[in-house]
Amino acid sequence: MGDYPQLEININHLIHNTKVIKEKCEEFGITVTGVFKGISGDLKVAEAFLKGGLTSLASSRLEQIEAARNAKLEAYMILIRIPMISEAYDVVRLSDCSLQSEIEVIKELNKEAEKQHKVHDIILMADVGDLREGYWDYDELDDVAYYIENNLKNIHLKGVGTNVGCYGSVAATKETLEKLISIAENVERRIGRKLEIISGGASSSLLRIWDKDMPSRINHLRVGEAIILPQDLEWHYGYDMSEMYKDCFRLKAEVIEVKNKPSHPVGTLSVDAFGHTPTYIDRGIRKRMLLGLGRADYSMLEELLPMDEGLELIGASSDHTICDIENAKKEYKVGDIVEFDMNYAILLFVSNSKNVKVKYLI
């Protein structure tokens, strides 16, 4: 099998980015957990997070945590998707800590932890408005915390946390994070001790560090995107990320056909590969090329970012990508390699595609 399509991963640049994020957060008394679900659990990337100085790793998928354990990555492992109750055995077996929002699940974990002679750490999630996981009724959260503290011997309530910017597009503002702190302080009053962790979110919460208005009791963040794709913080929020490498990942595809063809299909139009009939604009005969990768690899054509800005992506089926190269910077020929930058969604799909070969630059 050949080398393409290929996802090239620059490990040294990832290590550098990890150090930058770690040091910035340290100035604010914040510990960072490296989230490696965005690259589909790639172990070399997880290892780069550790080489960059992080000591804990997190994923939404137990399979990825298991692979990291099997690879002997020495880290405190956090499961960051609220687990299925059916996963209780593996949650305790594989992770040191998990995010939680349902008492039935926590009770099940307690039973499992007892069987496995372990104490499992948990972080109770509060929903502060993004409306994905977490307690919406904060009195209920208090009651659950009190119950765990006094009844579940094999569960240790390590802290409370929240997640924003995932479903509801809610920003991690100072006010939103202060709401989490007040929820945490109510729990502390109820259980009569300080919580070790107040986990203030993901990459989007780093903006509070950049703006130097992070509420002081937030002492933990779970960060993936900002380390792997710092350019996302520039694109989405307009922050200057020039201290970090923005070329940690490149998608490379091979040119399989170059021809002049009409821009409007010829014949009676019916449906395309996915059952749709798009509108086609007739721009006359155009120079175009085909690449040997397709929607099976990256799903969303619109989000691919060609490094050659003159290259126009005009369509794709499962295994082909069609580019208009009339205004391309380069004179393409069969066998050439075309490079793409990518956003979080594309990186997630591409790294999860069995067809895409991963090449590490060490």
Ligand X SMILES: *Cc1c(COP(=O)(O)O)cnc(C)c1O
d(CA 250, CA 10): 9
Sign of CA dihedral 324, 325, 329, 335: positive
Q: Catalytic: which of 22, 37, 158, 252? A: 37
| Structure-token pair, residue 216 | 């002081």
Sign of CA dihedral 338, 344, 349, 355: positive
Closest CA to 69 of 88, 96, 89, 87: 96
Residue number, nearest CB to ligand X: 224
**C-beta closer to ligand X: residue 197 or 328:** 197
d(CA 182, CA 204): 20
d(CA 233, CA 162): 20
d(CA 1, CA 357): 10
Active site (annotated) includes residue 37:
yes
Nearest-approach distance from CB 162 to ligand X, in angstroms? 9
**C-beta closer to ligand X: residue 141 or 202:** 202
* 189 CB-near residues (< 8 Å, 6+ apart): none
What does the CA dihedral 290, 294, 299, 300 come to, rounded to 10 degrees?
Answer: 0
d(CA 304, CA 308): 12
Nearest-approach distance from CB 55 to ligand X, in angstroms? 17
Nearest-approach distance from CB 229 to ligand X, in angstroms? 9
Where does this chain bind ligand X (CB under 6 A)? 35, 37-38, 60, 80, 99, 163, 202-203, 222-226
**C-beta closer to ligand X: residue 6 or 205:** 205
**C-beta closer to ligand X: residue 5 or 83:** 83
Nearest-approach distance from CB 104 to ligand X, in angstroms? 20
d(CA 349, CA 351): 6
* 279 CB-near residues (< 8 Å, 6+ apart): none
* 163 CB-near residues (< 8 Å, 6+ apart): 125, 130, 132, 133, 134, 201, 202
**CA–CA distances in Å: residue 193 to residues 118, 186, 188, 190, 218:** 22, 11, 5, 8, 17
**C-beta closer to ligand X: residue 5 or 200:** 200
Angle between helices 103-115 and 138-151 in degrees, nearest 10: 20
**C-beta closer to ligand X: residue 10 or 100:** 100
Nearest-approach distance from CB 36 to ligand X, in angstroms? 9
> Checking DSSP bridges between strand 197-199 and strand 321-324, what pairing results, if any?
unpaired
d(CA 231, CA 225): 9
**C-beta closer to ligand X: residue 22 or 222:** 222
Residues assigned a catalytic role: 37
